[in-house]
Structure 1
Amino acid sequence: MGKRANLSGVSFFAAQVFNDDESTLNSATDANKQITRGTHDENNPNQESHERPADVDTDARPNKKRKVGVLGAGWEKYDATGLVPFYTHKTQVPEHLQKYFGQRERFFSLYSSGCLLDEEGWYSVTPERVANQIAERCRCDVILDAFCGVGGNAIAFARTCERVIALDTSPVRLALARHNAVLYGVGDRIEFVLADFLSFAHQLTQQQELRSQSKSAENPNTAENVLADVKPQRLFDVIFLSPPWGGPSYLTDRDTAEENITESDASTQGAPEYNLASIKPVHGRQLFSIARRLTPNVAYYLPRNTKLDEIADLGKAEMVEVEEEWMGSKLKALTCYFGGLVTGQEDRF
């Protein structure tokens, strides 16, 4: 699982897949802008007297110092402050989100520095410590975060992977994710793409099939084509799936606020088993199958009460590793690893 070099073509690939410049948001590496400031000598009020050149505009004034916002100089264009509310006190938060507000610094340790979440982000973002654990397990060259949301996992992946491709269907959530990534200092390592994963994967698969057919037609008996059929070239080492689970109601036993983290956790007791059919936007089995067409290495983030026999059926004829994600005494979710991500199965990577 070593690092690969020369990965700069991923942005070009994303643009090719959709053939639409608006599908791929501008790279954060182009954000640096030079800020110029006017200067004048405050100790010499007579400096503008009799020696002013004739061609100098007498109305010229020093440039005002620009406000750089929470992201710092050069990143102003990615500052999403004001796009969604930034809560600083529980009384500001809608009642149905107040229990999540108590967990804000577990979601983002830099929350107080200006991290932003939309309503869906409050109940769907992966806690930072959990995201860091998953990112360490998924360490690779290129990873695709198929449902990036407000960026919790993408930020963690940017610390362990050479390049992160982050997809989402909401331009607002992508803007929030990039804002948060810049706050964490990894905005230039993530490529944010406004896209639906299903369409993205379908078009990519079609292009790969067309290229394979074209090569076979030109040189049908070459060893290169035979090997390409056995192991087609892949653009992603790992795909991380964290699809919508159906909202906070996926559990019938309501979670208590995280301030009570020391209380005994009921875990999955009292909650019905979660079926992969409840995954959005398609059946969880179909979603997994689509991802496996692009890479054997998939990490699947699922509710803590997901039926284990359904998970096992996804990886027939191979080992599947299910990792429980705990925060204190509370079981938060399951991360299911497939392919070369499974401990002891690295040869499949």
Structure 2
Amino acid sequence: MGNEQSVPEDISESESPARWKEGSTPPRPPRSPIKRAASSRPLGTIIQPHSSRVSKRTSKKRKGDKKNGRELMLDEKQIDVPETSIEPVLEPEQEPEQIKMSIMKPVDGKLPLTDECLHYDDVLEVPSNLQKYFHQRYSIFNFYDHDIRLTNDAWFGVTPEPLASRLASDLPSHLYSTPRRTTIVDLFGGAGGNTIAFALSGKWDHVISIERDASTLACAQHNAEVYGVAEYITFIHGDCLDFLDRLKNHPETLDPSLREKCSIDDTVLFASPPWGGVDYKEQEVFDLSTMEPYNLEVLHQACSPMEHVLYLPRTSDLRQIAKLAPEGEQIEVVQYCMEGASKAMVALIPAAASQTT
């Protein structure tokens, strides 16, 4: 996921960074420099949707004499009731603590590409509202010609590859800190732009990518294969806020393989949410409370107290961001630019003190 401004708008087709001539064979993507994590293990089955359900309890037939009463048959339940009443005595509803959550699991294998997972070869095939992004396709994915797949919605949200690579390089992985940060979770994985960059950086033992749209996730898995890093990424088909709630409050509802790779103390969260809301390009200072469907407060509360990185509009209100700093801590804010123009603001929110000791 991400935002519509994350790609430069002034790159023309002729200025494409493609390094091969038309008609020649494009170079193959490089092999990943990542070493397989020691704790690598096969993924589990596809995520089961989070649901709350109450099991039905079947009343047993009551036996006994029928003096001063009569039998009432209701759906094969035999209930003795007084002559003066025809209301059956039903058992109480299930208590809230008895409601069980399903287990959230990583994707098992590879989701199939759907009709929404498209690769355009010619601008004439592209919808008019996407044509400027198609002209910048080699900035979005340098290996676009190797059958990179995107849904039409995903074009708007992919972080351009140069930005994603620089961001992945800049983020500290804290491998020598106490406690170590060994896992990064891309909460809005989208078609894989940031996720692939994190995997290629080789800085993390585990890279986890969450995406709730099946077609977009299928694109991300396919694109990760193009870049040679699919086996180093754990994909989850689900909602990121649901995942965070489980991680913090119900870890027993996460598959053991996820609990092994991800804990509150050793994980950094990365969020490149849909910006939505009013058009940020028309605001001199963007009000982060208007982001949809998740505004700044919702995102911050969902990610806290863990360390998290927010990829935000370039004109975001710094006063709103400053309020997120834990007591006694400072927030680092970086403007990321392409072609001399700022494209996004990235805020690094430190973990709460209780999580760093």
Contact 2:271 2:309 in 1 (8 A): yes
Partner residue of 2:325? 315
Partner residue of 2:316? 306
Q: Structure 1: which amino acid aligns with 2:297?
A: R
**Residue pairs, 1:320-339, within 5 angstroms:** 320-339=331-350
Q: Structure 1: which amino acid aligns with 2:289?
A: A
Contact 1:155 1:186 in 2 (8 A): yes
Instruction: Give 3-state SS (helix, strand or coil) of 1:251's partner.
Output: helix
Moved over 4 A (4+): 3-6, 9-23
Whether 1:188 and 2:221 are equivalent positions in the alignment is no
TM-score when normalising by structure 2: 0.62
**Identical aligned pairs, as a percentage?**
32
The structure with more radius of gyration:
2
Contact 1:105 1:111 in 2 (8 A): yes
Structure-2 change in CA distance of 1:182 and 1:139 (3 Å):
farther
Q: How many pairs align?
A: 253
Q: What's the CA shift for 1:116?
A: 1.2
Q: What's the CA shift for 1:283?
A: 2.4
Partner residue of 1:85? 118
Whether 1:165 and 2:208 are equivalent positions in the alignment is yes
Partner residue of 1:56? none
Whether 1:286 and 2:298 are equivalent positions in the alignment is yes
Bigger fraction of residues in helix: 1
Structure-2 change in CA distance of 1:300 and 1:7 (3 Å):
farther
Whether 1:129 and 2:159 are equivalent positions in the alignment is no
Q: CA RMSD in A?
A: 3.5
Of 88, 111, 128, the match for 2:144: 111
Structure-2 change in CA distance of 1:115 and 1:196 (3 Å):
same
Larger relative contact order (Cα-Cα within 8 Å, sequence gap ≥ 6): 2
Partner residue of 2:108? 26
TM-score when normalising by structure 1: 0.64
Structure-2 change in CA distance of 1:246 and 1:15 (3 Å):
closer
Of 184, 189, 192, the match for 1:151: 192
Partner residue of 2:135? 102
Q: Which moved more, 1:8-17 or 1:182-191?
A: 8-17
Q: What's the CA shift for 1:159?
A: 1.9
Whether 1:245 and 2:275 are equivalent positions in the alignment is yes
Bigger fraction of residues in strand: 2
Gapped regions of structure 1 (runs ≥ 5): 29-77, 211-232, 253-270
